[in-house]
């Protein structure tokens, strides 16, 4: 248990603005734990908090890819112990009473606890979390590499394993960024004929090194035609936030194939109904997963040696890490580490 009385945190104070502050160490309430944070990923979804979207109030500590150790437990918490290594993801609790929860679908809870949005997140040395939203983290996972698995990893892993694709099917990952580079690894390790789609010949080496069997350069190749030449993609996982790029993959789906959207473009995805009807193709969205899903993501990643490629930053450089993430100027995930001794991964 910590003996300090204050801790450092980074708070969003105005659109696009982050500020390093000192706060008193909080006491966990009933059903909560206090966590000493080891690392926290900087995810594009953090922009909802930092830019003031969706009515998130200032000041708020962003961050929902948190790895750390329990420092204290509140009343009523019996299943977790001080010193235990845990993670906290995007969805960190559900109300248990809304129609979705009552129907056994907590991922679509209508009143969820969202880390870094409805509660303070992991851009801090210490944070509080609901015990019901904790994820067990294997001891042998590096904190900086594991942090992005709690959101980017979970999102791609869960979308792929619930997509209906079977081993040997052609599965394409649209995009090779923070989500896509994990999607390619998961797809390959799941036994899919893995295709990576991005823009530029310079992405080919990365795609192949991650396990792609085929790289499609969307700047010089007809994406749909290439996919059709392979028999069509059973699934395309849309990880790049470009509506036009996602739409261009739909004619390349196999009969009853599916575009699964996990990135959020700034514009609507335009779909030709003919491409959907003739071939019974579909477009669907996929949203993160449960605590159990997150633990399974970590377990699978650990078993199959799937790792996020990260660039780390100390907490005081959170503004730089966030700004570079927003410019897509990190390779490939930005992660804040709370202690200078934490391993660095340029």
Are residues 89 and 154 in contact, defined by beta-carbon separation less than 8 angstroms?
yes
Q: Look up the CATH number of the domain holding residue 122.
A: 3.90.180.10
pLDDT at 340 over 70: no
**118 inside domain:** yes
Query: What six digits make up the tokens of 39?
Result: 């690392």
297 and 234, same domain (yes or no): no
pLDDT at 331 over 50: yes
pLDDT digits (tens, 9 = 90+) for 92-144: 999 999 999 999 999 999 999 999 999 999 999 999 999 999 999 999 999 99
320 lies in the same domain as 246:
no
The long-range contacts involving 83-86, CB below 8 angstroms and separated by at least 24 positions, are 84/136, 85/136, 85/137, 85/138, 85/139, 86/33, 86/35, 86/129, 86/134, 86/135, 86/136, 86/137
Query: What's the chain look like in SS3?
Result: CCCCCEEEEEEEEECCEEEEEEEECCCCCCCEEEEEEEEEEECHHHHHHHCCHHHCCCCECCCCCEEEEEEEECCCCCCCCCCCEEEECCECCCCCCCHHHHCCCHHHCCCCCEECCCECCCCECEEEEEHHHEEECCCCCCHHHHHHHHCHHHHHHHHHHCCCCCCCCEEEEECCCCCHHHHHHHHHHCCCEEEEEECCHHHHHHHHHHCCCEEEECCCCCHHHHHHHCCCEEEEEECCCCHHHHHCCHHHEEEEEEEEECCCCCCCCCCCHHHHHCCCCEEEECCCCCHHHHHHHHHHHHHHCCCCCEEEEEHHHHHHHHHHHHCCCCCCEEEEECCCCCCCCC
Question: How confident is the model over 183-217, as pLDDT tens digits?
Answer: 999 999 999 999 999 999 999 999 999 999 999 99
In a domain, 68, yes or no: yes
Residue tagged 């991005």 (tokens): 198
Q: pLDDT at position 53, please?
A: 85
Per-residue pLDDT of 47-90, as tens digits, reads 999 999 878 899 999 999 999 999 999 999 999 999 999 999 99
Residue 343 confidence class, pLDDT cut points 50, 70, 90: very low
139/68 same-domain check: yes
pLDDT band at 3 (very low <50, low <70, confident <90, very high): confident
pLDDT of 19 over the 70 cut: yes
End-to-end Cα distance, the chain = 32
pLDDT tens digits, one per residue of 152-166? 999 999 999 999 999
Structure token pair of residue 293: 């899903």
d(CA 221, CA 66): 39
How high is the mean pLDDT of the chain? 95
Which CATH number belongs to the domain containing residue 240 in this structure?
3.40.50.720
Q: What is each CA distance from 38 to 8, 35, 146, 277, in whole angstroms?
A: 13, 9, 11, 49
Do 16 and 133 have their domain in common?
yes
Question: Is pLDDT of 342 > 80?
Answer: no
On whether both 223 and 301 belong to a single domain, the answer is no
Sheet of 214-217, strands arranged across: 214-217, 193-198, 170-174, 233-238, 253-261, 282-285
What's the average model confidence in pLDDT over 262-269?
A: 94
Q: Residue 346: what pLDDT?
A: 39
pLDDT at 339 over 90: no
Q: Which residue has the tokens 């503004």?
A: 319
Domain count for the chain: 2
pLDDT value of residue 98: 96
> What average pLDDT does this structure show over 254-281?
96
Whether residue 103 is contained in a domain is answered as yes
Residue 172, pLDDT > 80, answer yes
* Cα distance between residue 323 and residue 318, in whole Å: 8
Both tokens of 34, joined, read 């206090």
The answer for residues whose C-beta is within 8 angstroms of residue 114's C-beta and 6 or more apart is 64, 90, 91, 92
Q: What's the confidence (pLDDT) of residue 108?
A: 94
Has residue 1 been placed in a domain? no
Q: Is residue 343 part of a domain?
A: no
Has residue 341 got a pLDDT over 70? no
Same domain assignment for residues 58 and 106: yes
Say yes or no: 147 and 202 in one domain.
Answer: no
pLDDT for the residue 250? 98
24-48 pLDDT, tens digit per residue, is: 999 999 999 999 999 999 999 999 9
Q: Is residue 345 part of a domain?
A: no
The winner for highest mean pLDDT among 49-53, 125-129, 287-291, 329-333 is: 125-129
Based on the domain organization, do 316 and 274 belong to the same domain?
A: no
Alpha-carbon 139 to chain mean position: 20
Average confidence (pLDDT) over 229-254: 97
Say whether pLDDT at 13 is over 70.
yes
Task: Tell whether 41 and 114 lie within a shared domain.
Answer: yes
The structure tokens 């069509």 sit at 232
List the structure tokens of 202: 């310079």
- Picking from 176, 186, 175, the residue whose alpha carbon sits closest to that of residue 249 is 175
**Domain interval for residue 27:** 6-151+289-337
């Amino acid at each position: 248990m910590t003996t300090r009385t204050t801790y450092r945190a980074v708070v969003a104070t105005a659109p696009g603005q982050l500020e390093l502050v000192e706060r008193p160490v909080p006491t966990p309430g009933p059903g909560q734990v206090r966590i000493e944070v080891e690392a926290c990923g900087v995810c594009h979804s953090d922009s909802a908090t930092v830019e003031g979207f969706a009515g998130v109030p200032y000041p708020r500590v962003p961050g929902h890819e948190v790895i750390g150790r329990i420092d204290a437990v509140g009343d009523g918490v019996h299943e977790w112990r001080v010193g235990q290594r845990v993670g906290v993801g995007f969805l960190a609790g559900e109300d248990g009473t809304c129609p979705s929860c009552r129907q056994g679908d907590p991922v679509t809870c209508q009143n969820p606890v969202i880390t870094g949005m409805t509660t303070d997140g992991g851009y801090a040395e210490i944070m509080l979390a609901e015990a019901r939203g904790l994820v067990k983290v294997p001891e042998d996972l590096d904190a900086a590499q594991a942090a992005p698995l709690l959101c980017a990893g979970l999102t791609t892993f869960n979308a792929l394993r619930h997509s209906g694709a079977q081993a040997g099917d052609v599965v394409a990952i649209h995009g090779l960024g923070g989500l896509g580079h994990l999607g390619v690894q998961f797809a390959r390790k799941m036994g899919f004929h893995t295709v990576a789609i991005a823009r530029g010949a310079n992405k080919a080496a990365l795609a192949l090194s991650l396990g792609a069997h085929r790289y499609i350069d969307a700047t010089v190749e007809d994406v749909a035609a290439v996919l059709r030449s392979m028999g069509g993609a059973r699934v395309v996982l849309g990880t790049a936030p470009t509506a036009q790029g996602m739409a261009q993959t739909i004619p390349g789906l196999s009969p009853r194939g599916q575009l699964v959207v996990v990135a959020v473009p700034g514009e609507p995805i335009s779909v030709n109904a003919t491409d959907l009807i003739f071939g019974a193709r579909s477009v669907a969205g996929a949203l993160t997963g449960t605590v159990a899903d997150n633990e399974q993501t970590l377990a699978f990643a650990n078993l199959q040696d799937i790792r996020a490629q990260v660039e780390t930053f100390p907490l005081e450089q959170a503004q730089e890490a966030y700004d570079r993430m927003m410019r897509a100027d990190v390779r490939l995930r930005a992660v804040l580490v709370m202690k200078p001794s934490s391993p660095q991964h340029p």
